[in-house]
Amino acid sequence: MIVIPRLLAEQLSAVDHELRRRLALDFAQHALDDHRDLFDARLPGDGGDAPLGSTAPLDAYLGAARAFVDGGGSIAEVESARRRFFGWYVGLSGLASDLAWTVNLAVLSACGPDLYEAFDYIVRSKHDASDTVHLAKEAQRMAGRRAATKEAEYAARWEEARWQLLRTIERLPNPHA
């Protein structure tokens, strides 16, 4: 039997840093696209009238990180989006909070060292392959948490891991081209 999560972890450990940065953002974008409806929910205690909010801060945060990684944006734009994200994040809870934190992990995996260097953060962190593996596992966990049964949870997690592995393979350059 092929154990997809283990195979994915091996592949993520083998790819270069630049590809890992892009994959981290891809994994978070996929999780956000799959679970965007969490932000259509209603806040408890508000009589069902107040929507939880939009995903605009998440989209902006991921977008700024992707633009930076792709060479079209600045680290200052990522930092600005990061500050807006944290101002918005404070009011979240439950699955919406978990999804938002997964997006934050992706941005830190992709841009963390650049943020620390550019803004001289007191806390410095080494970001490596294990960050992207952890992010992949978080996205798999998010996929499973919305399932109704244990069997459905395992199936959803497996499908997410399969998507991630296929995305990793899709992004690999052909060494013979």
Residue 49: DSSP 8-state: -
- How much is the pLDDT for 70? 96
- Alpha-carbon distance 72 to 66, whole Å? 9
- How much is the pLDDT for 125? 58
- DSSP H/E element including 65: helix 56-69
- How much is the pLDDT for 116? 84
Give the chain's residues under pLDDT 70.
1, 41-53, 121-129
Structure pTM? 0.87
- How much is the pLDDT for 45? 45
Place of tokens 């083998």: 14
- How much is the pLDDT for 41? 62
For the chain, domain boundaries: 4-171
